[in-house]
């Protein structure tokens, strides 16, 4: 079993839909990251959170420490949101190492 599990693996939506991607983890982490990877491969960090909720534009990330669960929400989705979204956790212990989920491929159709 992977230490970080994401669902769904693939997600297709129509423009304007509200989207939720889920992440569960089974290891001790000091922070949870949501990353975005576009087809070219480069990765952009969207959020880093250790509690509560963060919002940036149409993106919202939440984390429930007790349940070891995080969600990424996209409101009013747009075709330019199409990408792979990756959940990752910083392993506790001071090395700042990340453990990654396998990613969720999101396709938003016009």
Partner 1 sequence: DGGITQSPKYLFRKEGQNVTLSCEQNLNHDAMYWYRQDPGQGLRLIYYSQIVNDFQKGDIAEGYSVSREKKESFPLTVTSAQKNPTAFYLCASVWAGEKYGYTFGSGTRLTVV
Q: Which of 30, 64, 75, 107 binds partner 1 (CB under 8 A)?
A: 30
Torsion angle of alpha carbons 50, 53, 54, 57, nearest 10°? 160
Q: What is the CA radius of gyration of the chain?
A: 13
Q: In the stretch 38-57, what mask flags binding to partner 1 with x, by CB under 8 A?
A: --xxxxxx--x---------
CA angle 35, 36, 37 (to 5 degrees): 125
Establish if 31 lies at the interface with partner 1 (CB under 8 A).
yes
Query: Which positions lie near partner 1, rule CB under 8 A?
Result: 2, 4, 30-31, 33, 35, 40-45, 48, 86, 88, 90, 95-103
């Amino acid at each position: 079993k992977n230490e970080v599990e994401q669902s769904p693996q693939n997600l297709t939506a129509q423009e304007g839909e509200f989207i939720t991607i889920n992440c569960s983890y089974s290891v001790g982490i000091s922070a949870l990251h949501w990353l975005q990877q576009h087809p070219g491969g480069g990765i952009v960090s969207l959020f880093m959170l250790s509690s509560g909720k963060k919002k940036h534009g149409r993106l919202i990330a939440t984390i429930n420490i007790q349940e070891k669960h995080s969600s990424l929400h996209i409101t009013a989705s747009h075709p330019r949101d199409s990408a792979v979204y990756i959940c990752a956790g910083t392993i506790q212990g001071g090395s700042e190492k990340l453990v990654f989920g396998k990613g969720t491929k999101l396709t938003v159709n016009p």
